[in-house]
Amino acid sequence: MNYQQPHVPNPSVPSPASQTSGYQPVTFEAQGPAQAHQYHNYASYQQQYQQAPPANIFQECQQPIIQQRQVRELPVLQKEALQPPQKLVKQHLLPTTPITVTPAPDPIHEESPPLDYQVLLISLAEDYFTAAHRQGSLVALSTRIEDLDRYYKLIAFGLGCLETILKQRLQPRLEAAVRLRYATVLHDETENTMEAETALSKGNRLLDLKYSIQHLLVRVMFKKTPKASMKALDIIIKDSETCNHFSWLYAFRFLRAFLLLELSSPSDVLSAMATLRSISSTAEDRRDTAVFLISSVLEALGHLRSQSKDSIEQAQHALASARSLQLDQLTAELPQLVALTYILDLICSLMQGNQPQAEPKLQALHIMLDQRVNDNHWTVDGTFSVPIHADARSQTLVNGSKSRLSSSQDGAERLTFTWLPKRDIYALVFFLSGVTVSPKNTTQGLKAETFLKEGLKVTMDEINTPPESGKVSLSTIALRLAWRKTLVSHIRLHLAFALCVRTDWDSAIASLKELEQWNETFSPDPAPGMLPLLTSYLAGVIYQGIGNLTGALSIFQGPQFSVLHDPSFDLENNANRISHDSRRDVSILASLNSILILRGLPQPDQEFINKIFSRVEPFCVSHSDQNIKAAYYFIKAIYCASDPLIKSKQFLQHALKTAKGITNNQLTFITLNFMSWKFFRGVVGEQAEKSSRASLRLAKKGMDGLWTSVAEGMLADSLEVQGKMEEARSMREEAIKSAETIVPRLRKAEGSLD
C-alpha cells in the first residue's frame, strides 16, 4: 500500500512578471537562463504561433504527438571587428522599441544631399538586431555551433554601430535615445553589467527619457548590487510620487515588488506585498480599475509563494478583490489577466487538497477559456496593456518612452505587461485539469490522463515548431523552451503517478524512464525546482508497488528526503509558521511510506519507527493538505494496532471521513479494506458481508489489481463463515485471477526497474 501522488506542492504558474527573473514590472522582461533555472515555475515566455486551439478545447482532446529536441547552451562570443563589448552570452528580454531617426527633408538642390552617417549607423544597427532576432527561433533548435556564432556576430555588429555613434557629438535627445538602446541590448543579450551601467550613467536627464533610463539602470544595478538598486529605486519612487507622475509611479512600484520577490527572503516578500497593496490603494483612489486588478492578482501570487501559514487565505482574499472587478468593461479586454485570476483561484484549492472545491473552479475556468478562444484581445507574444487614466503632467513622459508606457488613440496611457502566449496558457490549463481530476481518474474514463496527454501534445508542438515571424531573440526562445520543457517534465511526472494509482506498473516504469531521459535535456544543469526530488519519490513508489521493498526503502531513507531529520531543522517553528514547504511535504510522504515498509518487516525496529513518527506527526496533524492528513490518520491506525481497539477505530474513522471529504478514492477503499479485516474478520452477519462488498466495489472502480484481489479474498472468507460455500468458491477463484495479474511483476521485484 502506498500513497503515491503528492497534491501540487507548489503552483506551477509563472508570474506575469519578469520572463526569467521576475522583477521587471512593466514589460516583465527577463534576465537569463542562469537565473531562470532557480525557479520552477516558474518562467514565462512570449510565443509567436499560427494555430489556435479549437473551440471547446477541453472536450475535444487529441492524442499526443511527442517529439524531442535538444536545446544547447549558447557560447560566449569573442570580440569582432567592430569591437563590441566582450562577454556576450545569452540573456532574455524583449527588444525595446528600436530607435527610428528620420532626417528632416533638405531643400532641393542640384547636388545630392550629404550622407548622414548617424542615421545610417542607427539604421544599420537595427537591421543587425532584426536579422539576428529573425533567426533566433531556428538557432535555438539547431545543434550547429555555426548558427550560434552567426547570431552573436550580428548582435555584436549592431552594438559596434551604436558604440561608433556614441563616440561622436550628438544632439542631447538623440544621444539619450542611443544610450538607452545600447544599454538595453547590453542588458538583454549580454552579461556586460558594468558597460551598461556606465552607458546609462552618462545619459542626459531629458525629462521624457529620464524615467526610462532610471528604470533600466535599476534593473542593471540589481544584477550586481541588489541592496544599492533598492535604495536608488526608493528615491526614484519618492520623486515620481512628489511630482504626481502616477504612470511611472505604478511602473516603479511594480518594479520594486518584483525585485523584492526576486530576493525571496520572508522580510522581502512581506515588503513586496506591502508595495502591491500601495499600488492597489493608489489605483483605487484614481479609479484605475485594471491596475487595481493586476496588483491584486499579483498580491495573491506573492502570498502563494510566501508559504506562510495563512498564505492561502490571504491569497483568496486578494483574489476576491480582483474577481469583484471582472465584469468591468476594461477587464473584459484582458483575457490573459482574467485567466490568471481563475488559475490562481484553482491552485488555492489544489494546495489545500480540497477536491470538491476545486472541481467547480476548474469547470468555470474551462467555460471562460472556451468562450474566449477566439477573442481578438489575445496576442501572439503574450503581451497585454493595462489602461491608466491620462495624466496631463506625465503625458510627455509617456510619449517619450514607448517601451514601458504608451498612449492609445483615445489618449489613455497604457502599462504593458508580458505573460504567457495563448497556447501556453491552454497547455498549462490542460496540466492543471489533469491534476485536478486525477483523484477520479479511474471512475471518469481516465479523464485525467486524457487532459495530461493533450497538454503534453500542445507543449511538444510549441517546442518543436518555431514561431513563423521569427522576430524574437535567441535568448527569449531559449527561455521559452526551458519553461516548456519544465512543464513537459511535470506532465510526464503526473502521468506516471496516475499509472501508479491504477497499478499499471509496466507503463509506470516506462513513463519513469521517459521522464528521466527528458530531465537529462536540462544538462549540464539539473532539472529545475522540485523535479529531481519528485522523480526520486516516483521511483520509490514504483519499487514499493512492484514489491521491491529494499529498493523502495533505500530511496525513501535517502539523503534527499532527510530534511525532517536535519538537526538544524526547526521542527516546532516550521510546523507552526510554514503552510506549504514542498521539500518538507514530499519528505513527509516518503517517511509515511517508510513506516509502512518497516512495520511489515519480520523484525521491525520499533524504536526507529517511533523516531520517524515523532518527526512527521507535528506537521501532519495541522497540515492544510487534507490528503496528507488522511494518510497520517490511516497509518496511525495501523501503527497503534496493538493499542486499545477504540483508538484504532477513531483514527480509521478520521481517515475514512477525510478521504471521502476530498474524494480520495484510493485511500477510501484501502481504509475500508483494513476496517473489514480489523473489525469483521471471522464475524458472522450481514454487516461483515456488506463491508467486504463495499471494499471490493471501490477497489474495482479504482482499477487497483492488488486491493481488488485482497477485497475478493476477504469477501470469500466472509461468505465461507456464513456458509455460502458455492459463492465463496467462485469469489476465491476471482481473487486468484486478480492476483495472477500482478504476480509476474512481483516475481521480478528484487531486480531493477528494467
pLDDT in tens, 391-431: 655 554 444 444 456 555 555 688 888 888 999 999 999 99
**Highest mean pLDDT out of 1-10, 83-92, 681-690:** 681-690
pLDDT of residue 578: 54
**Same domain for 572 and 523:** yes
**Same domain for 702 and 653:** yes
pLDDT of residue 292: 92
Phi-psi region for residue 446, left (φ > 0), alpha (ψ -120 to 50) or beta? Answer: left
Question: Is 384 among the domain residues?
Answer: yes
Mean pLDDT of 352-371: 92
Least confident of 117-126, 331-340, 581-590: 331-340
Mean pLDDT of 320-343: 81
**Is 50 exceeded by the pLDDT of residue 77?**
no
pLDDT-derived band of residue 573, with 50, 70 and 90 as boundaries? low
pLDDT-derived band of residue 267, with 50, 70 and 90 as boundaries? confident
**Same domain for 359 and 291:** yes
pLDDT-derived band of residue 385, with 50, 70 and 90 as boundaries? confident
pLDDT-derived band of residue 89, with 50, 70 and 90 as boundaries? very low
pLDDT-derived band of residue 579, with 50, 70 and 90 as boundaries? low
Mention every residue, 6+ apart, whose C-beta is less than 8 A from residue 710. 673, 699
CA pair distance 84, 81, nearest whole angstrom:
8
Mean pLDDT of 595-611: 87
pLDDT of residue 7: 45
Residue 275's identity, in one-letter code, is T
Q: Name the residue with higher pLDDT: 73 or 659.
A: 659
Q: What is the DSSP string of 644-683?
A: -HHHHHHHHHHHHHHHHHTT-HHHHHHHHHHHHHHHSTT-
- How many domains in the chain? 3
**Same domain for 195 and 213:** no
- Tally of CB atoms within 10 A around 330: 15
CATH (domain of 394): 1.25.40.10
Average pLDDT, the chain: 79
Q: Name the residue with higher pLDDT: 626 or 381.
A: 626
**Is 70 exceeded by the pLDDT of residue 471?**
no
Mean pLDDT of 74-84: 36
Pull the grid cell for residue 322: 480582483
Question: Is 434 among the domain residues?
Answer: no
pLDDT of residue 557: 92
**Is 60 exceeded by the pLDDT of residue 362?**
yes
Looking at 419, 450, 483, which one is the last position of a domain? 419
- Note the pTM of the prediction, 2 decimals: 0.81
- Phi, psi (5° rounding) for residue 69? -130, 155
**Is 50 exceeded by the pLDDT of residue 54?**
no
**Is 70 exceeded by the pLDDT of residue 196?**
yes
pLDDT of residue 397: 47
Mean pLDDT of 562-575: 62
Looking at 158, 187, 204, which one is the last position of a domain? 204
**Is 60 exceeded by the pLDDT of residue 100?**
no
Above pLDDT 70, what percent of the chain?
75
**Is 70 exceeded by the pLDDT of residue 106?**
no
Q: What is the DSSP string of 401-451?
A: -TTTEEE-TTS-EEEEEE---HHHHHHHHHHHHHHHHGGGTTTTTSHHHHH
**Same domain for 302 and 275:** yes
DSSP-based three-state secondary structure for 77:
strand
**Is 70 exceeded by the pLDDT of residue 204?**
no
**Same domain for 410 and 548:** no
**Same domain for 708 and 613:** yes
Looking at 204, 227, 245, which one is the last position of a domain? 204
**Is 60 exceeded by the pLDDT of residue 83?**
no
- Phi, psi (5° rounding) for residue 629? -60, -45
pLDDT of residue 104: 52
Question: Is 689 among the domain residues?
Answer: yes
**Is 90 exceeded by the pLDDT of residue 49?**
no
- Residue 122: which domain range? 75-102+116-204
**Same domain for 259 and 281:** yes
In angstroms, how far is CA 400 from the centroid of its own chain? 35
pLDDT of residue 667: 92
Question: Is 346 among the domain residues?
Answer: yes
Mean pLDDT of 241-267: 91
Pull the grid cell for residue 633: 490518520
pLDDT of residue 399: 44
**Is 50 exceeded by the pLDDT of residue 591?**
yes
